[in-house]
Amino acid sequence: MSFQFSKWKILPAGVLLLGTVAVGQDASSTGSSTQGTTTTTAPAPKPTIAQRKENQQDRIANGVQSGQLTAGETSKLETKEAAINGETRADRAANGGKLTAAEKQQVNKQQNQLSKQIYNDKHNANTAQYGNSKVGQRQENQQDRIAQGIKSGQLTADETAKLENQQKGINQQVKADRAANGGKLTTGEKKQVNKEQNAASKNIYNKKHNANTQQPKK
């Protein structure tokens, strides 16, 4: 009698246990299904014109600092960026501070073209060659200062284009002088380059500390 009593007593407990497991599995399945539906995320919003402009400038700054972009390449890129910015300002001024849908589309197309050129210039065979000489170290230091100014927003695209065009002229002069003297610079040539870099250094400082800055707008 005691055996049968125990058997009938245990059976409901076993059934109860199985029921609990089944309920737990259903809850788990339901939770997984719910979780699966709630993790669906909406596509990321497209970057604004200001965000794209800032991104392009950061990419150029990185290219200048890494040496992937020469002064000549940077000058051309920033001249194009300055032209896009000027066009955008003119369009905003004509439309009460806003851009029409067609103008936004046009600016986006121009930024796409510039983005492709930045990539190509950063990945071609041309790189900034400074060397270990004092002249080379000075060139690299100037480029690092320009890159920092681009990244911080202290230098506008137009200012950067002018500064890099100045650096391009100095670099071409150094290259020509070296070619004419078996790869070296004479004492007089070094003195002249140093004078030009002093002027460029002052120009960099003035442009980084004037009232002109990159002004992001939506």
Amino acid (one-letter) located at 17: L
Q: How many domains does the chain have?
A: 1
Residue 181 lies in a domain: yes
Closest CA to 80 of 107, 104, 47: 107
Residue 185 lies in a domain: yes
d(CA 164, CA 79): 10
Residue 135 lies in a domain: yes
- pLDDT (tens digit, 9 = 90+) per residue, 48-63? 998 999 999 999 999 9
Residue 144: which domain range? 49-208
* pTM for this predicted structure: 0.77
Beta-carbon count within 10 A of 148 CB: 16
- pLDDT (tens digit, 9 = 90+) per residue, 86-98? 999 999 999 999 9
Amino acid (one-letter) located at 124: N
Residue 5 lies in a domain: no
- pLDDT (tens digit, 9 = 90+) per residue, 59-89? 999 999 999 999 999 999 999 999 999 999 9
